Amino acid sequence: MSFFTSDFIFGHLNYWLFIILMMTGLYIVIGKGNLVKKIVGLNIFQTSVFMFYISMGKISGGTAPIFPLNGKYDPEVAYSNPLPHVLILTAIVVGIATTSLGLALIIRIREEYHSIEEEEITVIEDTVFRSEHLVVASQGEPL
Amino acid sequence: MATQTVHHTAMTLSDHLPILQILIPFIAAPLIVFIGRRNLAWPIAFIASTASFVIACLLLSKVIGGGIISYQIGGWAPPLGIEYRVDAANAFVLFLVTGIATLVLPYARQSVEAEMPQRTQTLFYALFLLCMTGLLGVTITADAFNVFVFLEISSLSTYVLVAQGSYRDKRALTASFNYLIMGTIGATFFVIGLGFLYMATGTLNMADLADRLSGQYESRTVRAGFAFILVGMGLKMAIFPLHFWLPNAYTYAPSAVTTFLAATATKVAIYVLLRFIFSVFQPAFLAETSTLEIHILSISFAGHVCRVFYSNLPTRPKAYASIFKHSPNRLHAAGHCLTFRNWIDGYDYSPLQPWHH
């Protein structure tokens, strides 16, 4: 198949890394029952997007986009695009806020449920749910 | 289209209304935290939200006849600088968000005192204002990346607000955690979509994006970007197959929070999707790629059906039981799905349409 040439594989290396990291992260979020692991997965998922953006700003042969102080810049020089880096700086801050909030919620969940495993929490919630409904049903029964 | 340069010299206060709309709740929120007095928190929040409401009314009255207010942050002309753009569609959403907040706050005082311990009550009002800031920012901005930033400001404060229900029912914590996971995945998908659009066009200003995208509807990059934005915002607005976080979050949140969020948060997400479908992408794009939406919706619908069958196993009856128990929420989510299909089918763009249910 001419599709999978070495050019196709190595020319898109940043995309492959992005896809592998993104899928790893999403798998951990969905597949793992431990809430802390879910947060770690979410972090990997977000990091993949950071890498995607930053690799997008790189121009082959491009240098750091610093404007010379004397104002005489060489039009021949290629500069990398700084904007994706700046955008990702904001996204990293958002990611940190999300992580810390997620971990804080896990602490509160552990205080209330004494567990951070999704399976165990679901069992506890089922019990609460059933008991609520049994109470409602028995109150509604005509004597 | 977006490159008219208007210099900001000698502006009056009324010219600064678009930024004041965001700044008033944004500054009032930390003010409440710094003052830190419980008896002052509610009055500050109420004054800030009333002021925002007045500004939203003024903005709406200016643009209701079809005018557009373009506000350039720091005097940097778009598309380089960040632009706030008010037109009849988003002025109405601003009016709605600030109006609902002002209506909810007087009632929230009783609800907060009854449902929360004293130490968190002050912070509750700060978070409420931050959430409102985020929602207003999402609505007013004309910069696509700014939408993401404000979306996350509102979402992060929403997760905390939902978790405040834990003093009444501990299930609010898990509901908030699930909402955090789903909301972050949604926002990240949205950012991936923006990345693709930025790769194709090199701009983030919405009007400029629309200009530069108009010749590229065949490009796979643009189509992938659209698909990511669609799914990302779909998660945020709890569109029918992606709505799993919504019933629990709205059930166990404090009642004032549910009232505010149910009327605003998902509606603002709908507005963003509308803005992307009808302003950034033209309806012509949808006509060309109508198969795309049908595929996405049918795949996600299939996923939904699978989950219903799986959930009949005894391990997970609760999630679905709660959806069926709180049928208004279910109808709410189904309503989103129906209105969404109407937009896709008829390209019928009326700013009033999302509010009819």
CATH number at residue A97: 1.10.287.3510
Evaluate whether residue A85 is within a structural domain: yes
> B84 forms bridges with which residues in the sheet?
B71, B141
Distance from CA of B191 to the nearest CA of A (A): 8
What lies within 8 Å, CB to CB, of B288 at 6+ separation is B217, B218
Using CB atoms, pick whichever of A42, A49, A53 lies closest to residue B181: A42
Structural domain boundaries, residue A134: 7-63+74-140
When CB atoms are compared, the residue of B156, B170, B191 closest to A97 is: B156
Instruction: Evaluate whether residue A69 is within a structural domain.
Output: no
Residue type at A103?
L
Residue A1 is assigned to a structural domain of this protein: no
DSSP state at residue B85: E
| Phi, psi angles (nearest 5°) of residue B231 | -70, -40
Q: Which residues of A touch B171 (CB under 8 A)?
A: 125, 128
Q: Report domain extents, chain B.
A: 13-356
The verdict on residue A110 lying in a domain is yes
Counted domains in chain A: 1
Which of A14, A94, A127 to probe the B interface (max B CBs under 10 A)? A94
pLDDT tens sequence for chain B (357 residues): 455 555 555 578 788 888 999 999 999 999 999 998 888 899 999 999 999 999 999 999 988 888 888 888 888 888 888 999 998 888 999 999 999 999 999 988 888 888 888 888 899 999 999 999 999 999 999 999 999 999 999 999 999 999 998 888 888 899 999 999 999 999 999 999 999 999 999 889 998 998 888 888 878 888 888 888 888 888 888 776 677 778 788 888 888 888 888 888 888 988 998 888 888 887 777 767 665 555 566 556 555 554 544 443 333 333 443 343 333 444 444 444 444 443 333 333 333 334 433
Q: Is B84 left (phi over 0), alpha (psi -120 to 50) or beta?
A: beta
Structural domain includes residue A115: yes
Cβ(B183)–Cβ(B236) under 8 Å?
yes
Asked if A46 and B184 come within 8 Å (Cβ–Cβ), the reply is: yes
Asked if A94 and B170 come within 8 Å (Cβ–Cβ), the reply is no
Nearest by CB to A42, from B184, B199, B321: name it: B184
